[in-house]
Amino acid sequence: HFYDTHLWPQRSSGACTRKTSESQASGLPEYIKIVEVGPRDGLQNEKVIVPTDIKIELINRLSKTGLPAIEVTSFVSSKWVPQMADHKEVMRGIERHPGVQYPVLTPNLQGFHSAIAAGATEVSVFGAASESFSKMNINCSIEESIEKFEEIAKSARNMDIPVRGYVSCALGCPYEGNIIPAKVAEVSKRLYSMGCYEISLGDTIGVGTPGSMKRMLEAVMKEIPLSALAVHCHDTYGQALANILTAIQMGVAVVDSSVAGLGGCPYAKGATGNVATEDVIYMLNGLGINTGVDLYTVMETGNFICTALNKKTNSKVAQASFNTGTIH
């Protein structure tokens, strides 16, 4: 069937290898690492509290798709984020597949120690390019938050634990509006200098366009090597794939996404949030870029979690595929 071979080139012999030379010829990366944030960023922004065993099954299924990194949970106080209250149980309950990273969020040193005790082998810290956002979200200035992260980075270094840094509001802030690229570069540099191996630049409210993405990346690339950069685009204004394309045209080779596009936008009621992993993979497959991820298995996983959440998928690829009867 046409859709079968088109959607899943890995299943038709030779299709993927032929296309690899296409990506080389076009100047795009040959390989892109996809960081799956559905279980953390996705579920955190879903209204329905998901039982621990469902979370564990979601992550176990994602582990079988070929995804190289899956953000598992957040060691934050359950008072602030009830959805992540079961962080220890989830961390201890998941299967750990070799070759797959399972980072967790750690907002402070206490969370970091708790994460390590629960078996975490990689952590993430969240900064922002906006003072207002930093104040409203974690009740301190950017500088104060950086100081907290430096404590974590120091402990992490002593224990050989890699740390990923996030910069929120990279293309705009729900409170301040426009964010200047120089500020994003400055915060990114602070996180990179303290030892974060990768900086994920987040368009937190999805307002960015290829224009602002390009300007922001140009500024950040002056301070951080390209290989240490990732983009985390929200699809709230439908711009995510165009923004991601722009980033990969500039050489970025790490992209964050969320299975089934889980996670709405807390700043625009009813609007969407994370870009759907399925839609990203579809685009990358079409560009001949290798991800190591099997689109079909991701779609099945998306179907699983949407059924559990009793909601429709936000992935257009999944919507189109289920409705042509290609998935059973």
Partner 1 sequence: MAAARGLLSRWAVSLRPVSAAAAAGAFPKRVKVVEVGPRDGLQNEKNVVPTAVKINLINMLSETGLQVIEATSFVSPKWVPQMADHTEVMQGINKLPGISYPVLTPNLKGFQAAVAAGAKEVSIFGAASELFTKKNINCSIEESLERFDEVMAAARAASIPVRGYVSCVLGCPYEGKISAAKVAEVSKKMYSMGCYEISLGDTIGIGTPGSMKEMLTAVMKEVPVGALAVHCHDTYGQALANILVALQMGVSVVDASVAGLGGCPYAQGASGNVATEDLVYMLNGLGIHTGVDLQKLMDTGTFICNALNRRTNSKVSQASCRL
Residues assigned a catalytic role? 265
- Of 43-51, 67-75, 189-197, 238-246: span binding partner 1 (CB under 8 A): 238-246
Give me the phi and psi of 230, to 5 degrees please. -135, 155
What is the number of other CB atoms lying within 10 angstroms of the CB of residue 57?
17
User: Is 267 near partner 1 (CB under 8 A)?
Assistant: yes
- Figure out which of the listed residues 89, 96, 97, 175 binds partner 1, where binding follows CB under 8 A: 175
Compare residues 133 and 149 and give the one whose CB is closer to partner 1. Answer: 133
The answer to whether the CB of 98 falls within 8 A of the CB of 113 is no
The answer to whether the CB of 319 falls within 8 A of the CB of 278 is no
What is the number of other CB atoms lying within 10 angstroms of the CB of residue 98?
4
The answer to whether the CB of 30 falls within 8 A of the CB of 284 is no
- Of 45-53, 63-71, 251-259, 283-291: span binding partner 1 (CB under 8 A): 283-291
# residues near partner 1 by CB under 8 A: 53
The closest alpha carbon to 198, from 59, 64, 101, 130, belongs to: 101
Q: In the range 13-32, which residues lie near partner 1 by CB under 8 A? A: 19, 22, 26
- Figure out which of the listed residues 35, 43, 205, 309 binds partner 1, where binding follows CB under 8 A: 205
User: Is 290 near partner 1 (CB under 8 A)?
Assistant: no
Which SS3 state, helix, strand or coil, does residue 172 take? coil
User: Is 302 near partner 1 (CB under 8 A)?
Assistant: no
* Cα 149 to Cα 155: distance, rounded to the nearest angstrom: 10
The closest alpha carbon to 89, from 43, 47, 56, belongs to: 56
- Figure out which of the listed residues 68, 210, 251, 292 binds partner 1, where binding follows CB under 8 A: 210
* Cα 77 to Cα 44: distance, rounded to the nearest angstrom: 13
- Figure out which of the listed residues 206, 255, 257, 302 binds partner 1, where binding follows CB under 8 A: 206
- Of 44-52, 117-125, 191-199, 285-293: span binding partner 1 (CB under 8 A): 285-293
Q: How far is the CB of 102 from partner 1 (least distance, A)?
A: 28
- Figure out which of the listed residues 65, 246, 257, 277 binds partner 1, where binding follows CB under 8 A: 246
The closest alpha carbon to 280, from 85, 38, 117, belongs to: 38
Length of the chain: 328
Q: Which residues bind partner 1 (CB under 8 A)?
A: 2, 5-6, 19, 22, 26, 172, 174-175, 177, 205-212, 214-215, 235-239, 241-242, 244-246, 265-272, 276, 279, 282-283, 285-288, 315-317, 319-320, 323-324
